Amino acid sequence: MLEQNVVNISQVTQRVSDSESHKQFLALQSTFMSQVTKTYEWRIEQLSQLQKMTEDNKALIEQALFADLGKCKTEAWLTEAGFLISDIKDTKKRLKKWMKPQKRPMPMLAQPGASYVKAEPLGTVLIIGAWNYPFQLTLAPLVAAIAAGNCAIVKPSELAPAISSLIAELLPKYLDQSAFAVVEGAKDETTELLTFPFDKIFYTGGEQVGKIVMAAAAKHLTPVTLELGGKSPCVIDGKTNLEVAARRIVWGKMMNLGQTCVAPDYVLIEKEYQDKFIDILVKTYKEQYGECHKDNKDIGRIINRRHAERLASYIEGQEVVFGGEVDLDNRFVQPTIIKNPSLDSIIMNEEIFGPLLPVLALDNKHQLIDFVRQRPKPLAAYVFTEDKAFEQAFVDQVSSGSLCINDTSIFMASHDLPFGGVGTSGMGAYHGKAGFDTFSHSKAVMHRSYKLDASIRYAPFSKFKLSILKLIN
């Protein structure tokens, strides 16, 4: 039995070491060892090249996003290409400051000397991308990895094939090929990548695969950042400005046809305001998207038939007050408002990840907060209110990756807010400095001078030495 295992393991090692992606991994590791990735100049050059790649190929990126998700040009710019360019520009502007060693005070016992924290790159990292923002969610982590001085293998999502092959074609043309590689593929290719001893794995996607990634990483004690999802609630105080609230909720929900990790998943409001708010919501959808028919060019598509079928099943048996049309052949699901779905229905227990918006009602505002608190910690939580005490109660009591008051996904535009989940919505964060930190190790460095070498810390010990040590502690 033992012999059998030995044979199997050596077969796996043989297979892994022969594969193209393993050879790429080893090549990247040796590039990292060469120290080339550590200079400020090299990092800036790679970031500029990534920016140039995005700018030069804007039209191709738009076409691929349209093929994969039916994304309109405005969304393609705002949430993918433009988002990435803005991220790169901000990173380039601030990189020198981030790389600068941070001075720290010296303890009395270690005087004279100096100490500081130096951010050092982790090494060779793996970035596993998601399909919903297939360009930006694959390359924004790469911006952070480059800024921190790492080599990286990038694995785009196979569910967005047009963007996956575009990234595979473009990246090697613009970036240092000895430091970056793209591996395309699905479960098998990712499973193989996960056997390599990366120095960091950055994964964006669902909870189930997140657990697989974390278990594989544990074998090499590789640190992970998991950018996951979940149900992001939207709590509304009925006395707030319902027109503006509706506009901002429809904006967040309609972006990428609801296939956004921070999209408002469902709305919670006090009973007495529910019907009024639903009327305003319907009016808002119509103002922005007419009757929300599939020929509206601003409305995208669901990624594939399987997901369109999943969403269709969520609608069955529900009280639909707006929308409800599904065209599986065209991967189209109409923006749909559902009133009071039962709490044990699938739509209230799974992340919706599509244009269906349940609106639930409870008796009072504090029940709204309790409802959110009793469920898994969301990636984003939203509250619309002008009541300062209620706002503060929400901020203090609701634990979520991010929290936005009086708006929805707009907080993602900030380069100064860390973005990441908590609990089942993920671990770790990126965007701006948080991304640099995620791909760096904060190395503590202490330099001691030879000038003074007080004997009090050395044996033989005495009561006198101890009393001095206590004094300076």
Q: Which of 275, 289, 241 is nearest to 405 (CA)?
A: 241
> Does residue number 228 form part of the binding site for ligand NAD (CB under 6 A)?
yes
Residue nearest to ligand NAD (CB): 229
* Interface residue with ligand NAD, options 70, 121, 129, 435 (CB under 6 A): 129
> Does residue number 132 form part of the binding site for ligand NAD (CB under 6 A)?
yes
> Does residue number 225 form part of the binding site for ligand NAD (CB under 6 A)?
no
Taking CA atoms, 2 is separated from 8, 12, 15, in Å, by: 10, 15, 20
Q: Which of 233, 162, 229, 272 is nearest to 422 (CA)?
A: 229
DSSP 336-398: EEEES--TTSGGGTS---SSEEEEEEESSHHHHHHHHHTSPPPSEEEEE-S-HHHHHHHHHH-
Query: Which is closer to ligand NAD, CB of 126 or CB of 147?
Result: 126
> Does residue number 155 form part of the binding site for ligand NAD (CB under 6 A)?
yes
> Does residue number 139 form part of the binding site for ligand NAD (CB under 6 A)?
no
> Does residue number 186 form part of the binding site for ligand NAD (CB under 6 A)?
yes
Which of 227, 234, 270, 292 is labelled catalytic?
A: 227
> Does residue number 218 form part of the binding site for ligand NAD (CB under 6 A)?
no
- Active site (annotated) includes residue 261: yes
* Interface residue with ligand NAD, options 80, 227, 265, 270 (CB under 6 A): 227
Which of 80, 151, 234, 261 is labelled catalytic?
A: 261
Using an 8 Å Cβ cutoff, are 198 and 22 in contact?
Answer: no
The interface region with ligand NAD, picked from 202-210, 239-247, 392-400, 449-457 by CB under 6 A, is: 202-210
> Does residue number 428 form part of the binding site for ligand NAD (CB under 6 A)?
no
Distance from C-alpha of 470 to C-alpha of 71, rounded to nearest angstrom: 67
Q: How many residues in the shown chain lie near ligand NAD by CB under 6 A?
A: 26
Q: Give 118: exposed, middle or buried? Use CB within 10 Å, 0-12, 13-18, 19+.
A: middle
The letter for the amino acid at 459 is: A
> Does residue number 190 form part of the binding site for ligand NAD (CB under 6 A)?
yes
Query: Which is closer to ligand NAD, CB of 157 or CB of 336?
Result: 157
Residues 243-272 within binding reach of ligand NAD (CB under 6 A)? 261
> Does residue number 191 form part of the binding site for ligand NAD (CB under 6 A)?
yes
Structure tokens at 426: 């993920």
Dihedral angle sign, alpha carbons of residues 260, 266, 268, 274:
positive
- Active site (annotated) includes residue 227: yes
* Interface residue with ligand NAD, options 128, 151, 249, 269 (CB under 6 A): 128
> Does residue number 435 form part of the binding site for ligand NAD (CB under 6 A)?
no
Give SS3 for 193.
helix
> Does residue number 202 form part of the binding site for ligand NAD (CB under 6 A)?
no
Alpha helices in 130-220 (DSSP H): 136-147, 161-174, 187-193, 207-218
- Strand (E) or helix (H) holding 124: strand 124-128
> Does residue number 49 form part of the binding site for ligand NAD (CB under 6 A)?
no
- Residues marked as catalytic: 227, 261
Contact set with ligand NAD (CB under 6 A): 128-130, 132, 137, 155, 157-158, 186-187, 190-191, 204-206, 209, 212, 227-229, 261, 351, 353, 379, 421, 426
